[in-house]
Every structure is written in C-alpha cells, then in structure tokens.
C-alpha cells in the first residue's frame, strides 16, 4: 500500500508542518511501510473482537462538580508569546 | 420549478455546572480574562483531564428530555483541528458513541404538529474566546470559556421551513430551561446554533448539496439566514449553476451569508479515542435514577393545563413557554385559585403590566398566593373585577396582600342596597335623557346609567346590584 506525496502534504498541512520535497519523498516511503504493516495485521481474524476504546480495563472515572483554585494570571500567561493585560496576544486570526 | 429547503440544525448548549468539564476551574460566564484557567484547560503537556460527573448527569437528563436513548457504553474522542482559541489543538468531544441518540421533539406549526428527529446528543468542551476588534497588534485570547461543558444536539434533516427552524430552537430552549441543565441564553452564547441547508425540487426525496451556516446569534437571525440562503441557492440552481459544499458565515448587518473556511480544511478532524479518558458504562439503574429526577416537561405541562384545567390551547402554550410564569400559575392554583381565573389574570392583566414595565414576574412583588386571594375576593363579591385590576397593580408594586390593599383604600364593594339607592337616585336625576329613553322602551339605555352609577361610586358598586336597583327605580317598584 503506498501513500502519495499529495497525501503526505495534506497530512503535513493538517499538522501545520512544513516539509521539504526531500522529506515528503522520505516520509511517503516510510508511511507506506507502516501501512503495509497494518495490512499484515489486518489479516488477523478480528470479527469476534470488540474495538478497543481504551487499553486500561477501567471505566467510569470522574470528579464531583466542585470549583478549585485556578492559576494566578501571571502564571497562566508566563509562557505566552506576548500578552496584553491578562490576554494572550497572538497573530491576527483571519476569517475566510 | 418549486424548491423546498432541507435543514438540519446543530445546537450547542453550555451546561450550568459550577466547574469545567475536565478540570475544577470555575465555569462561570465572564470574569476577568484568563482567571478561570489551569494547566488542564490551557492544554499544557502532561496534564490529566477528569470528567465532571454532574456534566455527565446533565447530558443524560437533556438526552432523556429529548426522548433520546442513552448509550450503555460511551467514550470521549479527540477532534483534531488548529484554531488559536483551542489551546490543546484538539477538542475533547464524542464521535461514534454519543451519549444520547434517536430522540425527537414535537413542534406546533400552522399545519399541525411536526416531529423533528434528533440524531444524536453528545458531550464536549467549549473553546476559548478571541477578540479581534480594535486590536492592531493581533488577536486577544481569553481561555475562561475553554473547557466549559457543552452538549451538542444534532437534528435529523427534518426541518422544511425557516419558521420550523425557529420553532424547533424555541422548543429545545424551553425543554432545556425546564430540565435546568442550562440557562440557554443566546445573547451570552450559552445556546448557539449552526445550520445545514440544502435545496431540492419539491416532492423529491433526494438530498441536494449541503451548505453549513455559522454565526447566527438569535432565533431571528437563524430564520433570516435560512431564508436568505435558500433564496441564494435557488438563484444559483435556476441559473444553471451548482451549489458548492462549503461553510458560510451569516452577516447580521448586511443580511447575507458569505463563504468562509476552505473545504479541504474543514471536516478532516481525524477523531480518535482520547487515551487520557476512560470510557463510561451507563447501566439501567443510572438511567432510571436520572429519569426519576426529570421534572415535568413542557409537553406534559401543556397537556395538564389543557386536559385538567381546561385552559384554551393558546393560553396554555403562552404559560408553558415561560417557565417563571407557569410556576407562578401552578403555585396560585395550588393555593386554591380557580385555574381558569388564574390563567386569565396572568394572561391579560399581569402580562400587560409586566410588558408595560419591561419586567419579568420575579421582578415585581406579587406572589402567587396574592393572586389566589385576589380571585377569592372577587368570587366572594368583596370587590368588583374592575377594582381588582387596580388592586393587582398595587400588589405588584408594594407587595402588600390584596386584602390589606382593599381595606386600606376602602375599596370594599358596596353590596348594601340602601347605600346604593341614594347614589342611584342622584344618577337618575342627573340623566333625564337616558331615563326617558328607558321609559319609552329603549331598555338598553340602562347600560349607560349603570356605568354612571359605577363611576359615582368609584367602581365600588356591585355591578349586578347596581343594575337591579336602577331597574327597580326606573320601573317604579321601589
């Protein structure tokens, strides 16, 4: 099973990764090999196996609805690329 | 060719929990920017989200109220996309196993009742808020809302007119208010709506190409946007064009939809089960517990008003659609008021007063028991219906009980014949014309004279008694 350069570019775009032509070529070969391996796995009979939603056999973990302490704004904003007052400042988000 | 619109709506509702969906930050609306945030809702590495039990219960309650089935096994998935208001770069949502599915609501249209299917109801988390206006340097982000619990309610494409879309939304809103899971305020964004709309020739059973519309901020803008978009698609089709599958934004000011996100980017979310969150197993016992806690819902209340109290359907609907007003009515009836009388007073006088003052029932001082007492005073003929209207206004503003108002202001109805006779004689003496008319056989001239007598007693005369006395005086039998 092969994955095309176009598909690699599409996935890279979705992941916001800039790839050189060389990397696209390299990755499409690597990803194809991974998919080949999946094809091999697919040969196993799994008709009677429930899809796995989680690897741990644990269910129903939750917390009660109580409010705890939030971060002080300076801590929350400590890693912000830039801030204005208590807001994170990011490059202009453009619609359309 | 005549076309019909095929519409499905996606409604997002913020749940009224104290804390967020996956962390214990406050879920309260507003607050100073980035003061309700922590490493979990800021998407910092290595944190562990833990779901809010109340949010799950609320999602189940909403599902049951919308006649959905509850999934015995459900889980959380990651919906992957990049947007600056979502710090993790994925939203925790539910993909193939939503907590609720296969429900419906019934809406009342001009053409009768219509059942609108609900395909699914799932849990997810809200995004942060971005501000663009008036900031030259870029966009500002506030993550207070990020991680607030949401439910998304997806309808079947059963809606055929913009009006039905509005009715559907109103119904969803009322049901959510009744269940108490959300305050459903469109203006504060705790209820939001996106629409999927396509056109097809009337009578066809095929589906046309779908367009998604976003950014509609009121019931009215949903209706307007759908009307606009249907007209736009129709003119594209009629000029031989093709509808492009895309997302369009509603521009409230210009009254148009415009194309936004490019289609390659949209709908490629690469969902997968969130490994940070273990699945949920919901047994029948849990479902039953949530079902038992369900309050009376709008449709049930409507039936009770019509079938048990014989209220007209219109009145019943007006009451049912206003939770506070319906509660007021129920309490007045529980305190012993005649249901029809109580409904009439609420529908006409109380509503009129509230509209005039621009207030809600909780903002005036009248209590349900006051209405019961007022109706009782009329039934016992202590005051006339006309005087009662003034008493109602007084009670609304002062919060005094009607009996005290009547006593203080000396409004007790004159039911004593001797007290009325003198006033009646004066009225007759002052109005020789009508008296003559009556005696000549124009019997309905008495109406005018009764009016004069009521006026002379400032409304305190018992109208039936006033009528009797005048008649007797005129007929010379006193």
Q: Among B387, B409, B431, where does a domain finish?
A: B409
> pLDDT value at position B382?
82
Neighbours of A13 (CB within 10 A): 14
CB-nearest to B130 from A64, A84, A93 is: A93
Cα gap B10→B372, rounded to integer Å = 43
Same domain, B421 and B399: no
Q: Which residues from chain A sit within 8 angstroms of residue B141, using beta carbons?
A: 87-90
Crossing angle of helices B402-409 and B385-398, rounded to 10°? 110
CB-nearest to B19 from A53, A65, A77 is: A65
- Whether the CB-CB separation of B34 and A87 falls below 8 Å is answered with yes
Same domain, B58 and B188: yes
Residues 6+ apart with CB under 8 A from B63: B69, B70, B99, B100, B103, B121
Same domain, B228 and B90: yes
Q: Which residues of A touch B (CB under 8 A)?
A: 10, 14, 16, 53-56, 58-71, 73, 76-77, 82, 84-93, 95-96
- Whether the CB-CB separation of B12 and B152 falls below 8 Å is answered with yes
A56, B32: Cβ pair inside 8 Å?
no
Distance, in angstroms, between A57 CA and closest chain B CA? 8
Rg (CA), chain A: 22
Domain that holds residue B163: 3-288
E strand or H helix at A14:
helix A5-14
B264, A10: Cβ pair inside 8 Å?
yes
B138, A53: Cβ pair inside 8 Å?
no
Pairing of β B73-74 and β A83-84: unpaired
> pLDDT value at position B264?
44
Cα gap B123→B50, rounded to integer Å = 14
Same domain, B375 and B437: no
Cα gap B153→B12, rounded to integer Å = 6
Q: Which residues from chain A sit within 8 angstroms of residue B85, using beta carbons?
A: 93
| First vs last C-alpha separation in chain A | 36
pLDDT in tens, B302-348: 999 999 999 999 999 999 999 999 999 999 999 999 999 999 999 99
Distance, in angstroms, between A72 CA and closest chain B CA? 7
E strand or H helix at A9:
helix A5-14
Same domain, B51 and B148: yes
Same domain, B398 and B451: no
> pLDDT value at position A96?
39
CA-nearest of B387, B376, B379 to B412 is B387
Distance, in angstroms, between B296 CA and closest chain A CA? 25
Residue B460's CATH number: 1.10.10.410
Q: Classify B141 as helix, strand or coil.
A: strand
Mutation for A interface: B23, B24, B99, B123, most A CBs within 10 A: B24
Same domain, B42 and B131: yes
Same domain, B115 and B244: yes
Tens digit of pLDDT at every position of chain B (478 positions): 889 999 999 999 999 999 999 999 999 998 999 999 999 999 999 999 999 999 999 999 999 999 999 999 999 999 998 888 899 999 999 999 999 999 999 999 988 999 999 999 999 999 999 988 777 888 999 999 999 999 999 999 999 999 999 999 999 999 999 999 999 998 888 999 999 999 999 989 889 999 999 989 999 999 999 999 999 999 999 999 999 999 999 999 999 999 976 544 556 899 999 999 999 999 999 999 999 999 999 999 999 999 999 999 999 999 999 999 999 999 999 999 999 999 999 999 999 999 998 998 889 999 999 999 999 888 887 887 888 888 898 889 998 989 888 888 777 777 777 778 888 888 888 888 888 888 888 888 888 988 888 888 877 787 788 888 888 888 875 5
Residues B465, B467, B472, B476, CA torsion sign: positive
Cα gap B277→B22, rounded to integer Å = 10
Q: Classify B78 as helix, strand or coil.
A: strand
Same domain, B309 and B388: yes
CB-nearest to B281 from A55, A60, A70 is: A60
> Could you give the number of structural domains in chain B?
3
The model's pTM is 0.85
Same domain, B110 and B143: yes
DSSP string, B53-73: HHHHHHHHHHHHHTTPEEPSE
Query: ipTM of the predicted structure?
Result: 0.91
Same domain, B213 and B305: no
Q: Which CATH class is domain A5-42?
A: mainly alpha
Same domain, B36 and B126: yes
Cα gap B98→B123, rounded to integer Å = 7
B52, A91: Cβ pair inside 8 Å?
no
Query: Domain boundaries in chain A?
Result: 5-42
pLDDT in tens, A45-88: 999 988 888 999 999 999 999 999 999 999 999 999 999 999 99
Cα gap B140→B129, rounded to integer Å = 8
Mean pLDDT of chain B: 91
Distance, in angstroms, between B159 CA and closest chain A CA? 28
């Amino acid at each position: 099973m092969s994955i095309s350069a176009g598909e690699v570019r599409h996935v890279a775009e979705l992941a916001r990764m800039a790839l050189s032509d060389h990397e696209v070529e390299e990755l499409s070969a690597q990803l194809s090999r991974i998919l080949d391996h999946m094809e091999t796995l697919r040969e196993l009979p799994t008709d009677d196996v429930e899809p796995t939603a989680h690897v741990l056999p644990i269910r129903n973990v939750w917390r009660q609805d109580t409010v705890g302490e939030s971060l002080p704004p300076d801590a929350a904003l400590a890693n912000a690329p830039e801030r204005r007052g208590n807001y994170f400042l990011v490059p202009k988000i453009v619609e359309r | 060719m005549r076309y019909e619109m095929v519409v499905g709506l996606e409604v997002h509702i913020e749940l009224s929990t104290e804390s967020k969906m996956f962390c214990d930050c406050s879920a309260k609306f507003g607050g100073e920017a980035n003061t309700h945030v922590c490493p979990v809702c800021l998407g910092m590495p290595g944190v562990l989200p833990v779901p809010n039990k109340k949010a799950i219960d609320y999602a189940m309650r909403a599902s049951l109220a919308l006649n959905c089935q509850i999934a015995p096994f459900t889980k959380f998935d990651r919906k992957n996309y990049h947007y600056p208001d979502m710090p993790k770069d994925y939203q925790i949502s539910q993909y193939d196993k939503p907590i609720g599915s296969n429900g419906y609501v019934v809406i009342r249209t001009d053409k009768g009742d219509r059942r609108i299917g609900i395909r699914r109801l799932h849990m997810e988390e809200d995004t942060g808020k971005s501000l663009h206006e008036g900031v030259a340097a870029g966009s500002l982000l506030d993550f207070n809302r990020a991680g607030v619990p949401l439910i998304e309610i997806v309808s079947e494409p059963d809606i055929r007119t913009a009006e039905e879309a509005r009715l559907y939304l109103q119904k969803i809103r009322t049901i959510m208010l009744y269940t108490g899971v959300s305050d459903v305020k469109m203006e504060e964004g705790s209820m939001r709506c996106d629409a999927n709309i396509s056109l097809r020739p009337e009578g066809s059973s095929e589906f046309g190409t779908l367009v998604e519309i976003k950014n509609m901020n009121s019931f009215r803008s949903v209706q307007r946007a759908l009307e606009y978009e249907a007209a736009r698609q129709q003119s594209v089709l009629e000029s031989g064009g093709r509808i492009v599958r895309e997302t369009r934004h509603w521009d409230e000011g210009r009254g148009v939809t415009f194309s936004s996100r490019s289609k390659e980017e949209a709908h490629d979310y690469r969902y997968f089960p969130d490994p940070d969150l273990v699945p949920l197993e919901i047994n029948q016992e849990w479902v039953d517990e949530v079902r038992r806690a369900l309050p009376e819902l709008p449709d049930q209340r409507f039936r009770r008003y019509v079938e048990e109290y014989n209220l007209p359907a219109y009145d019943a609907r007006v009451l049912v659609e206003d939770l506070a007003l319906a509660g007021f009515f129920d309490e007045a009836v529980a305190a012993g008021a005649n249901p029809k009388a109580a409904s009439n007073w609420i529908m006409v006088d109380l509503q009129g007063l509230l509209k005039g003052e621009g207030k809600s029932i909780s903002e005036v001082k009248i209590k349900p028991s006051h209405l019961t007492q007022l109706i009782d005073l009329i039934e016992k003929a202590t005051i006339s219906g006309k005087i009662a209207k003034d008493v109602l206004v007084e009670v609304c503003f002062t919060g005094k009980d009607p009996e005290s108002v009547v006593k203080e202001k000396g409004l007790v109805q004159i039911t004593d014949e001797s007290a009325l006779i003198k006033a009646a004689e004066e009225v007759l003496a002052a109005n020789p014309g009508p008296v003559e008319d009556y005696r000549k056989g124009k019997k309905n001239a008495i109406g005018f004279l009764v009016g004069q007598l009521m006026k002379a007693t400032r409304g305190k005369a018992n109208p039936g008694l006033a009528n009797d006395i005048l008649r007797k005086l005129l007929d010379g039998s006193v």
